[in-house]
């Protein structure tokens, strides 16, 4: 099966397993407390009912009123400051829910607002995050030079460590500030910052809801907004560094596959070049492509085996990919590796393949677009594979 499909299936299975395991653990941690709390509250309710001589309907009515009053008690939510806070929670997708539009017009505008605002914000944070990473890389390099170190390149490990440390410090700074201003414990304030900056935004803890802060404490309001946006930029930088490359992996591999198919088509029997997709399996490498019909049957099988092997290697390397050095060192190794690799990978495709590759200059395009992934589909030594995957790590 194609690498992308294997990867996708594996991710789906992982996510489901993760959900199941998480559900089980949350159940174990919270279920008991929930039961005991419930009992306690029921008792309290009975006591209140009896002491105030209320019926259950009365109590329900009171409950309703209390719940309706809840957002109002936290302050005026929809004056400009509150609306700005709300707008932030919408486009960053935090979505506390401490205030939510009650008018239909508000709801409709909220949806339209989010439609444009969320992509804008995503792109903005990634852009800023990338700038931050570049700047940090520059600083670290200078720092290394100052320290008189011989190798002043900034490795992935350095960057990830720095990113992680900056995330932790952002959370700690926020925790300190909010525990002071909101009167929460440090742990709860940290939990609040974490839930906010990961954009989960439960709303169990929400800043600016005490003592009419939105209207009466403009400096604290400004601090909160700046903290949320800056914190999201820092987290965004870390995501840009560590996660974004994984999100583009499938597309990259798809590109590589397409290049290979194109090369096959180009170098296949002249005059029989037609690339018709295999109707039975839209997502597998079309075996008829390039008209290498004679070789295709056996080629497909060996390709299949090769792909599985490649997947295994790939997964192994994915785990270790963060431990390799920066791209500057690696690009020089690639031109030397590709030609040899292509010849090994193409042995199964047919003879005379490697020769034609060099002559028509298609090596360049393959090199350019799929240097990383093309190698991985060949049966080569782990060394070369690892060296090439360093490049992937630094995308």
Nearer residue to other proteins within complex by CB, 318 or 347: 318
Nearer residue to other proteins within complex by CB, 32 or 216: 32
**Closest separation in Å from C-beta 339 to other proteins:** 12
Residue 381: is it exposed, middle or buried by C-beta count within 10 angstroms (0-12/13-18/19+)?
Answer: exposed
Crossing angle of the two packed helices 362-376 and 382-393, in degrees rounded to 10: 100
Answer whether 338's CB lies under 8 Å from 364's CB.
no
Residues sharing a CB contact under 8 Å with residue 302, sequence separation 6 or more, in sequence order: 348
**Closest separation in Å from C-beta 194 to other proteins:** 5
Nearer residue to other proteins within complex by CB, 132 or 295: 132
**Closest separation in Å from C-beta 136 to other proteins:** 12
Nearer residue to other proteins within complex by CB, 246 or 309: 246
Nearer residue to other proteins within complex by CB, 188 or 386: 188
**Closest separation in Å from C-beta 67 to other proteins:** 6
Written as six digits, the tokens of 28 are 């174990």
Q: Can you give the length of the chain in residues?
A: 395
**Closest separation in Å from C-beta 219 to other proteins:** 18
Nearer residue to other proteins within complex by CB, 118 or 300: 118
DSSP-assigned states of every residue in 321-366: GGGS--HHHHTTTHHHHHHHHHHHHHTTT-TTHHHHHHHTTHHHHH
Answer whether 184's CB lies under 8 Å from 169's CB.
no
Q: Which of 93, 119, 87, 100 is nearest to 197 (CA)?
A: 93
Nearer residue to other proteins within complex by CB, 62 or 298: 62
**Closest separation in Å from C-beta 365 to other proteins:** 5
**Closest separation in Å from C-beta 18 to other proteins:** 6
Phi, psi (5° rounding) for residue 54? -105, 150
**Closest separation in Å from C-beta 381 to other proteins:** 21
Nearer residue to other proteins within complex by CB, 61 or 211: 61
Answer whether 154's CB lies under 8 Å from 135's CB.
no
Answer whether 117's CB lies under 8 Å from 90's CB.
yes
Nearer residue to other proteins within complex by CB, 298 or 364: 364
Nearer residue to other proteins within complex by CB, 127 or 355: 127
Residues sharing a CB contact under 8 Å with residue 317, sequence separation 6 or more, in sequence order: 385, 386, 389, 392
Distance CA 128, CA 183 (A): 32
**Closest separation in Å from C-beta 383 to other proteins:** 19
Distance CA 51, CA 26 (A): 37
**Closest separation in Å from C-beta 177 to other proteins:** 18
Q: What is the CA radius of gyration of the chain?
A: 29
Residue 92: is it exposed, middle or buried by C-beta count within 10 angstroms (0-12/13-18/19+)?
Answer: buried
């Amino acid at each position: 099966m194609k690498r992308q499909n294997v990867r996708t299936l594996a991710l789906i299975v992982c996510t489901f397993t993760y959900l199941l395991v998480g559900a089980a653990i949350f159940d174990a941690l919270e279920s008991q407390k929930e039961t005991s709390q419930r009992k306690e509250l029921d008792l309290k309710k009975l006591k209140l009912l009896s002491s105030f001589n209320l019926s259950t309907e009365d109590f329900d009515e009171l409950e309703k009123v209390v719940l309706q009053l809840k957002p109002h008690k936290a302050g005026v939510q929809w004056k400009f400051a509150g609306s700005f806070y709300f707008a932030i929670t919408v486009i960053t997708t935090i979505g506390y829910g401490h205030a939510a539009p009650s008018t239909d017009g508000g709801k409709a505008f909220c949806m339209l607002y989010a439609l444009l605002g969320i992509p804008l914000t995503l792109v903005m944070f990634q852009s800023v995050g990338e700038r931050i990473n570049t700047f940090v890389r520059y600083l670290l390099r200078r720092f290394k030079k100052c320290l008189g170190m011989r190798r002043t390149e900034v490795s992935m490990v350095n960057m990830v460590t720095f990113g992680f440390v900056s995330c932790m410090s952002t959370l700690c700074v926020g925790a300190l500030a909010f525990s002071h201003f909101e009167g929460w414990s440090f742990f709860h304030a940290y939990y609040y910052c974490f839930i906010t900056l990961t954009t989960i935004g439960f709303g169990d803890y929400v800043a600016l809801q005490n003592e009419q802060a939105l209207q009466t404490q403009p400096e604290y309001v400004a601090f909160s907004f700046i903290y949320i946006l800056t914190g999201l930029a820092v987290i965004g930088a870390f995501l840009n560094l560590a996660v974004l490359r994984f999100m583009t992996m499938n597309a990259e591999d798809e590109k590589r596959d397409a290049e290979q198919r194109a090369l096959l088509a180009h170098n296949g029997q002249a005059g029989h070049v037609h690339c018709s997709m295999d109707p039975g399996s839209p997502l597998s490498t079309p075996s008829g492509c390039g008209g290498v019909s004679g070789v295709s049957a056996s080629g497909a099988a060996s390709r299949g085996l090769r792909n599985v092997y490649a997947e295994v290697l790939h997964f192994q390397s994915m785990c270790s990919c963060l431990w390799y050095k920066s791209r500057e060192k690696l690009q020089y190794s690639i031109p030397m590796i590709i030609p040899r690799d292509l010849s090994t990978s193409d042995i199964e495709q047919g003879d005379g393949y490697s020769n034609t590759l060099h002559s028509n200059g298609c090596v360049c395009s393959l090199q350019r677009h799929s240097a990383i992934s093309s190698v991985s589909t060949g049966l080569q030594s782990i060394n070369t594979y690892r060296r090439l995957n360093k490049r992937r790590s630094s995308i």
